[in-house]
Every structure is written in C-alpha cells, then in structure tokens.
Amino acid sequence: MAFQEREISPNAPLTAKLYNWFDSRFPTATVEYKKHMSEYYAPKNFNFWYFFGSLSLLVLVIQIVTGIFLVMHYKPDASLAFGSVEYIMRDVPWGWLIRYMHSTGASAFFIVVYLHMYRGLIYGSYRKPRELVWIFGCAIFLSLMGEAFFGYLLPWGQMSYWGAQVIVNLFSAIPFIGPELSLWIRGDYVVSDATLNRFFSFHVIAIPLVIIGLVAAHILALHDVGSNNPDGVEIKGPNAKMDEHGHPVDGIPFHPYYTVHDILGVSVFLIVFTAIIFFAPELGGYFLEYNNFIPADPLKTPPHIAPVWYFTPYYSMLRATTETMVNVLCLLAAIAAIFTFIKGKLPGFAKIAVIVAAVVGILLLKAFDPKFWGVVVMGLAVIILFALPWLDHSPVKSIRYRPRWHWWMYGIFVANFFVLGYLGIQPPSEIGTIIAQVGTIYYFGFFLLMPWWSRVGKFDTPPERIVFAGH
C-alpha cells in the first residue's frame, strides 16, 4: 500500500497534527495499540490478584535498566569481579542504589511471579483455552531461575562461589554424562574465571533475550484468547454476551481502566520496594547473604552453603531425596500398582502394563544413586507445572465454585512450600530431613493425584455472567 498523507484541518491542535504525521507513517503502531490496549476488553471483575502480571513486567524493566548500568562498570574477571562490585558500591555516583535496586529486584521478581502463578492456580487460568499462555508463563519462570542462578555468581563473593560449586557439582550425579557435563558448564575443573565469563554471557545476553521473547509470546497469546477472571466465566467466544458494537458486556477496555487500576498496585509496590532498598537491602541476609560481602576464597568453605531463598524449596526437595526416601517411593509405587491391579477398572492387559511399569520404576530407583534422584526430583518439581492444564479435571475453573476442602488443599500446598523453603535455608538435621521428605511427597502428590481429587466433592454452578459489584 502506497504512502498517503491523511488530510487534517490546518486549525487542528499541534498534538493532533503530530499524531496524524506519526500515524500516516507508522499505522501499525496505532493498530497494535488498539488491539492490545484501548480495544482489548478485559473482564471487569479483576481483583488485587491481577496486579502481579503488570508488576512482573515492571520488575523486568527495572532489572534490565539497572543491569545495563551495572555492566558499564562490572568486570567479568575472577581477579577483578569482587573489586568492581565494591567500586560500584563505593565510588560510582549512585552506584550503591543501582546495585541494591538490582539485587532487591531479583527477589521482588520471584515474589511477584510466585504470586502471579498462584493466582493462575486458584482461578484456573491454565485451563482451556489458555494452556499455551500457562506454558509460556512456566517457560518464563524456568528461564528466570536460570537467569538468577547465572547472575548469582557474578559478585564473586563467598556464597556466590561455593553456591555455584555445589549446584554445578550436582550435575555430576547424572549417570554416564554427569562428569563431562559439569566440566562443560564450568569450563574448568573448578569454578574459575572461565565459569565467571560463561555465566556472565548467559546472564547478560542469552537468557534476557529468551525471557523478553517469552514475555512477548505470553502477552500475545493471552490477548488472543482473552483474560481469565475470578469467576472463571468466559467473556469472549461463541457463548459470550456481546453488546451492539460487538464488545463483551462483561468487559471493559484495558486502557484507560486497567492502566489506571494498575497504578495503585505499582504505587504500593514501589513504596515497599524503595523502603527495602533504603532501609534493609539485605533483608536479614535473605536478599543478600552476609557471606557474599566476603571475597570468594576457594580454600575456605563457608560453614553452611545454601542457595537464595527463592531456590530453597527445590533445594530442600533435593536434600530430602535420601536412600530412605527412595525406599519409601519404591513402596508407594508397589502399593499403587497392587491397588490398581486389584481395584482398578482397567482392562487386563493395562493392569499387567501397570505392574510391569512399577517393577521397572522400582528397579530404576534402586539402580542409581539417591543424589541423582535428588537432581531429578528438583527438576521435576518445576517441570510438572507445565502439565498442570492436563492434570486438573475439575468441572469448574475457579476456586470460588469448588468444594471448601479444595481451599484447604491449596492452603496446605502454599504452607508446605513455605516450610520447604525455610528448611532449605537451615543446616541439615534429622527432623528437618523427615519434614522435607513429607513435604516433597505432598508437593508431588498434589499434582499427580490432581486428576482424581480435583473431581471429588460438591461443586457450585458458576454464573452465566461474571459477578461484579462497583466500588
């Protein structure tokens, strides 16, 4: 289509003339703005749980901008890295603020993402037709974990160095390829300058590009199928009610209504965020460990090595996978197979297949070292989230219309996640290991048994239209 300047009155305001000039030369921007903002209709009953999507995007921008300024002064060299961080903190104008914004932003990112994912969990935002939206979101979460892990080494403090040493060494437990894989990740036989350079390139270039692409895909996929809401009622689609203009009667334009709505969430978040930065940037050692203010020393191991708080639930599952835990898993597999064989309604050949699968699983569990299964458990704890759209067989989406005991299932799940996180920070103990083992079994049982328990109970009938009261 050939360029054509749109006619406009010579007496029009300057802003109108500028808009006309821009829109004539870049009409795609206007089309996309209307599609994703002013003419994108979202349900009108969003509550405070829906702040965390926009907050995640805000924190991503904070991390990228502060990261750019940190890279200007940071030196990815084992002999200079710690000193360059100290230089940023002490000599670069406002460098301490940029560094604390970045370190606090890392924890803030996980807080808002965890809350964002929990909202999707309780309101069924992963259910049809939003399976791909959920998968993109889980991929963002997985990439974010990698980004945080690679960035954690860069300050080259004691906990950074030894944390990376422990985590990379875990890969050596993988049969056959483990030692070579660990060597390839480190680039050396120990965590060294080669490791620092590799992690720096992944943290600064590779993974941010992946995250930005996944965020774009996440938002585009969401806007194609429409947003979910606390009632789990679809406002778009063949059965949705539309007004005379073809807009959902239970929807409102995202802009200006939800852009203004999100300003409240952003304001509260920034108040808390800045309060932490100025008054407690280490937050008692949870956001910045005290050992990380000591230069990395390969000859001096800290008394207790633990990852940052947002990794500790999965680290706790790793430590919980002992020989005893493997034996318990073998017993559970045997009981499940026997119960299915005796009480199951499967055909005869299917029952035999279940028994064979259980026997093979038990043999595999006993064949490899528990350390290897700990790595597997830690990885599956994240990977299983991708399967959630196909695990939930509930007849309704939202927790609002599920049986009351379902609320307890989700509440215990959250409490269990917190307990696992706390145990992951603490030094290993016998009672702590037992609690972590129970918590790990509950974590996986919550998901693996979901096809059964999500259908059990008395469900309320969701309304035909969303429930909304003005405020």
Give the tens place of pLDDT for each residue, 161-175. Answer: 999 998 898 888 888
Tokens of 41: 């209709």
Domains and CATH numbers, the chain: 34-293 (1.20.810.10), 309-453 (1.20.810.10)
Is residue 190 predicted with pLDDT exceeding 70?
yes
Helix ranges (H only) for 280-369 are 312-320, 323-343, 348-367
Is residue 92 very low, low, confident or very high in pLDDT (cuts 50, 70, 90)?
very high
Is residue 34 predicted with pLDDT exceeding 90?
no
Is residue 470 very low, low, confident or very high in pLDDT (cuts 50, 70, 90)?
low
Distance CA 124, CA 396 (A): 8
Distance CA 304, CA 471 (A): 51
* Residue 406 annotated as part of some ligand binding site: no
Q: What is the pLDDT of residues 217-247, one digit of tens each?
A: 999 999 999 999 999 888 887 777 887 777 8
At position 325, the amino acid (one-letter code) is M
Is residue 471 predicted with pLDDT exceeding 80?
no
Is residue 179 predicted with pLDDT exceeding 80?
yes
Q: What is the pLDDT of residues 248-305, one digit of tens each?
A: 888 889 888 899 999 999 999 999 999 999 999 999 889 999 999 999 999 898 888 8
Helix/strand/coil for 11? coil
User: Which helix (H) or strand (E) covers residue 43, if one does?
Assistant: strand 41-43
Q: If DSSP states are collapsed to H, E and C, what string results for 164-215? A: HHHHHHHHHHCCCCHHHHHHHHHCCCCCCHHHHHHHHHHHHHHHHHHHHHHH
- Cis peptide bond prior to 370, omega within 30° of 0: no
Region 28-51 average pLDDT: 87
Instruction: Convert 288-310 to b/e letters by CB count within 10 Å (16 or more is b).
Output: bbebbbeebeeeeebeebbbbbb
* Residue 102 annotated as part of some ligand binding site: yes
Q: What percent of the chain has pLDDT over 70?
A: 98
Distance CA 282, CA 285 (A): 5
In this prediction, residue 3 carries a pLDDT of 65
Is residue 99 very low, low, confident or very high in pLDDT (cuts 50, 70, 90)?
very high
Distance set, CA 314 to CA 367, 420, 440 (Å): 23, 8, 9
Q: What is the pLDDT of residues 342-351, one digit of tens each?
A: 876 777 777 7
In this prediction, residue 172 carries a pLDDT of 87
Distance CA 452, CA 286 (A): 38
Q: If DSSP states are collapsed to H, E and C, what string results for 248-279? A: ECCEEEHHHHHHHHHHHHHHHHHHHHHHHHHH
Is residue 339 very low, low, confident or very high in pLDDT (cuts 50, 70, 90)?
confident
In this prediction, residue 341 carries a pLDDT of 78
At position 38, the amino acid (one-letter code) is S
Is residue 317 predicted with pLDDT exceeding 90?
yes
* Residue 73 annotated as part of some ligand binding site: no
Please check whether residue 225 is in contact with residue 133, taking contact to mean a CB–CB distance below 8 angstroms.
yes
In this prediction, residue 72 carries a pLDDT of 96
Which are the contacts of 444, defined by CB distance < 8 A and separation ≥ 6?
A: 377, 380, 381, 384
Mean pLDDT of the chain: 91
In this prediction, residue 63 carries a pLDDT of 97
In this prediction, residue 79 carries a pLDDT of 93
Distance set, CA 78 to CA 191, 192, 294, 468 (Å): 10, 7, 14, 58
CA 139 centroid distance within chain: 8
Which residues on adjacent β-strands are paired with residue 253? 41
Compare 250 and 58 and report the one with higher pLDDT.
Answer: 58
Is residue 29 very low, low, confident or very high in pLDDT (cuts 50, 70, 90)?
confident
* Residue 471 annotated as part of some ligand binding site: no
The backbone torsions φ and ψ at residue 465, rounded to the nearest 5 degrees and listed phi first, read -125, 160
Which are the contacts of 98, defined by CB distance < 8 A and separation ≥ 6?
A: 66, 69, 70, 88, 92
Is residue 372 predicted with pLDDT exceeding 60?
yes
Which are the contacts of 355, defined by CB distance < 8 A and separation ≥ 6?
A: 337, 341
Distance set, CA 56 to CA 14, 109, 258, 259 (Å): 36, 6, 15, 14
* Residue 218 annotated as part of some ligand binding site: yes
Is residue 93 predicted with pLDDT exceeding 80?
yes
Which are the contacts of 219, defined by CB distance < 8 A and separation ≥ 6?
A: 36
Tokens of 428: 């290993």
- As a dihedral over the C-alpha atoms of residue 99, residue 218, residue 470, residue 271, rounded to 10 degrees, the angle is 0
At position 217, the amino acid (one-letter code) is A
Which are the contacts of 247, defined by CB distance < 8 A and separation ≥ 6?
A: 41
Nearest to 134 by CA among 115, 154, 153, 120: 120
